[in-house]
Amino acid sequence: RTKIAQLHADAKAFGGQTVTVAGWVKSIRDMKNFGFVTLNDGSCFADLQVVMNRDALSNYDEIAHQNVSAALICTGEVKLTPDAPQPFELTATEIVVEGVSDPSYPLQKKRATVEFLRTQQHLRPRTNLFRAVFRIRSVAAAAIHSFFQEQGFVYVNTPIITTSDCEGAGEMFRVTTLDPQNPPLTDAGEVDWSQDFFGKHASLTVSGQLNAENFAMAFGDVYTFGPTFRAENSNTTRHAAEFWMVEPEMAFADLNDYMDNAEAMLKYVLNKVMDTCPDELNMLNKFVDKGLLERLKHVASSDFARVSYTEAVKILEEAVAAGHKFDYPVSWGIDLQTEHERFLTEEHFRRPTFVTDYPAEIKAFYMRMNDDGKTVAAADCLVPGIGEIIGGSQREERLDLLEGRIKDLGMNPEQYKYYLDLRRYGSCKHAGYGLGFERLVMYLTGVGNIRDVLPHPRTVGNADF
Ligand code: 4AD
Ligand code: MG
């Protein structure tokens, strides 16, 4: 069996040969004595034009009456057509109907909206838009692995089930073997967690970072790339309950090392996608985001901006003084809102921007305290159109400061015993970051809603298929 991608890659080599291709019908045109089937097999963005002649095909009428999305197996001769819009076509000698498509097939020729397609989750990968998005997603994932593997990072799988809340935001999905309707109770009338499988109330992980730090203290440079879960009840275009995160962690590295690595990684992935997916990007550039190609090229070849949180707040305050309106007031100490992030990266710097050294109060417990005693060595990477795509920091490697911070935040030091131990036995300066993979795919495709870069999105009220 030949893939359509193979034909497009080297049509000349196939000229005159007989091949068999299997795929799904995009359209059928019947001109009575001859007709055309446009077939796509998913192996590449481009389609295959199959020509059928009544004389040569005993089941011509059966094929001519097939509906969009029927599964066909087509055998025929590859004919080079240098003068036609498509460089070759397949002249069919046999077409077998593998699976008919009911006339109720909901995605007919007319361009459907992404909102409608979300109601057809099982069929949307057969559309041009989603074929483009999900191939780019796959290429970007592979590029991330090759970037880190080429640099000798060790890929470590971190657990999905855990009892620690890495980000301390309490946004966890609970996991338990106890019956929620009728849990066993202690004599004091409380839920008896000792009868749970884990003996505690566990959760789905919000981040693999603490486990990645563990392995960085043995392998030096490591990364995780896996699903993470957040029960944020925020119905936005950038938040999903289940999303994938890439989390590199580097020993003997500081905040600048993290930013250098992240910038190089993003450019590597951008270049890989531009090299591998030109058809997909052209389609997205035409129908989804007219500035996409130009932006990706520009980003791949220019330096990211770097600005401290304190400077960033000044820039925002100056914008307010000059008449710019934000919904959320700006002052030192606030957690930057999406509107602020987008102003910085879209209006002010006009390129990806790292904001560094945030107030300790608005950041997680593990971030390294700066000498000013107020800010931590954190950095978020913001990009135009989306806002934050990466959050990261240098980690607090000093045992006394880390213990102090855990206690100040009312967290249980017992729970972080292993994590604290890493500061006892050969602690070292280290840094890492988390890239929201879906946000990167949104950036690479120009798609504006996280639901449309997730194969089967898990958002509020949505977990059926
Ligand atoms: O900024 P966050 O919360 O950082 C961490 O979890 C760190 N432990 C990472 C690390 O240093 N190893 O999340 C990291 C990134 C965000 O910048 C964002 O891109 C993405 O994860 N993200 C989400 N993506 C989709 N849906 C959500 N609900 C997300 N929450 C965070
Ligand atoms: Mg963050």
| Across 103-117, 129-143, 146-160, 367-381, least confident range | 103-117
Given a cut of 90, is residue 404 above it in pLDDT? yes
CA gap 89, 68 in Å, rounded:
19
CA gap 135, 277 in Å, rounded:
8
pLDDT at 1: 95
Average pLDDT over residues 385-410: 96
Most informative mutation of 207, 236, 242 for ligand 1 (most atoms within 8 A of CB): 207
pLDDT grade for 264, boundaries at 50, 70 and 90: very high
Given a cut of 80, is residue 109 above it in pLDDT? no
And the tokens for 329? 């007031």
How many CA within 13 A on the CB side of residue 400? Answer: 0
Separation of 437 CA from ligand 1 center, angstroms? 9
Considering every ligand atom, which ligand is closest to the CA of 367?
Answer: 1
Through-space distance between the first and last CA atoms of the chain, rounded to whole angstroms: 31
Residue with CA at minimum distance from ligand 1 atom 4: 391
Most informative mutation of 205, 245, 443 for ligand 1 (most atoms within 8 A of CB): 245
Most informative mutation of 243, 341, 462 for ligand 1 (most atoms within 8 A of CB): 243
Separation of 382 CA from ligand 1 center, angstroms? 12
Q: What is the 3-state secondary structure (H, E, C) of 28-88?
A: EEECCCEEEEEEECCCCCCCEEEEEEHHHCCCHHHHHCCCCCCEEEEEEEEEECCCCCCCE
In ligand 1, which atom is closest to the CA atom of 433? 11
Per-residue pLDDT reduced to its tens digit, 358-383: 999 999 999 999 999 999 999 999 99
Residue with CA at minimum distance from ligand 1 atom 17: 390
Sheet holding 154-155, edge to edge: 154-155, 221-229, 242-251, 430-436, 387-394, 378-383, 353-356, 305-308
Per-residue pLDDT reduced to its tens digit, 69-98: 999 999 999 999 999 988 999 999 999 999
In ligand 1, which atom is closest to the CA atom of 247? 12
In ligand 1, which atom is closest to the CA atom of 166? 8
The highest-level CATH class for domain 4-99 is mainly beta
CA gap 340, 342 in Å, rounded:
5
CA gap 338, 327 in Å, rounded:
10
Residue with CA at minimum distance from ligand 1 atom 5: 434
pLDDT at 331: 97
pLDDT at 169: 83
Length of the chain: 465
Given a cut of 90, is residue 232 above it in pLDDT? no
Average pLDDT over residues 248-253: 98
| 435 three-class SS | strand
Per-residue pLDDT reduced to its tens digit, 24-67: 999 999 999 999 999 999 999 999 999 999 999 999 999 999 99
Average pLDDT, the chain: 96
Per-residue pLDDT reduced to its tens digit, 213-228: 999 999 999 999 999 9
Dihedral sign of CA atoms 95, 101, 103, 106 in order: negative
CA gap 465, 462 in Å, rounded:
8
Considering every ligand atom, which ligand is closest to the CA of 169?
Answer: 1
78: closest CA among 154, 22, 2?
A: 2
Given a cut of 90, is residue 111 above it in pLDDT? no
| Domain residue extents for the chain | 4-99, 126-171+206-452
**Which residues sit with their C-beta closer than 6 Å to ligand 1?**
166-167, 207, 209, 230, 232, 239-240, 243, 245, 247, 388-392, 432-434, 436, 438-439, 450
pLDDT at 337: 95
Fold classified for 126-171+206-452 = BirA Bifunctional Protein; domain 2 (3.30.930)
Separation of 423 CA from ligand 2 center, angstroms? 24
Model's pTM, two decimal places? 0.96
CA gap 169, 422 in Å, rounded:
23
Q: Cα dist. 353→110, 306, 350 in Å?
A: 39, 6, 8
pLDDT at 390: 98
Per cent of the chain over pLDDT 90 is 94
pLDDT at 44: 96
Residue with CA at minimum distance from ligand 1 atom 6: 207
Separation of 379 CA from ligand 2 center, angstroms? 9
CA gap 289, 283 in Å, rounded:
9
pLDDT at 414: 92
pLDDT at 110: 77
Given a cut of 90, is residue 108 above it in pLDDT? no
Phi-psi region of 190 (alpha: psi -120 to 50; beta: other; left: phi over 0): beta
47: closest CA among 37, 55, 39?
A: 39
Q: Crossing angle, helix 255-276 and helix 437-445, to 10 degrees?
A: 50
Residue type, position 120, single letter: Q
In ligand 1, which atom is closest to the CA atom of 380? 17
CA gap 174, 165 in Å, rounded:
11
Per-residue pLDDT reduced to its tens digit, 426-455: 999 999 999 999 999 999 999 999 999 999
pLDDT grade for 2, boundaries at 50, 70 and 90: very high
Would you say the CATH fold of 126-171+206-452 matches that of 4-99?
A: no
Given a cut of 80, is residue 188 above it in pLDDT? yes
Q: 305, 353 in Cβ contact below 8 A?
A: yes
pLDDT grade for 170, boundaries at 50, 70 and 90: confident
* Alpha helices per DSSP H over 238-397: 255-276, 278-287, 292-301, 309-321, 338-342
13: closest CA among 92, 87, 72?
A: 87
Average pLDDT over residues 151-172: 93
Residues 371, 372, 375, 377: what is their CA dihedral angle, to the nearest 10 degrees? -20
Separation of 237 CA from ligand 2 center, angstroms? 16
Separation of 50 CA from ligand 1 center, angstroms? 46
Residue with CA at minimum distance from ligand 1 atom 23: 436
Residue with CA at minimum distance from ligand 1 atom 29: 239
Residue with CA at minimum distance from ligand 1 atom 31: 436
ipTM over 0.85: yes
For ion ligand 2, residues whose CB falls within 5 Å: 391
Residue type, position 27, single letter: S
Most informative mutation of 439, 441, 458 for ligand 1 (most atoms within 8 A of CB): 439
Q: Cα dist. 30→37, 47, 63 in Å?
A: 9, 18, 9
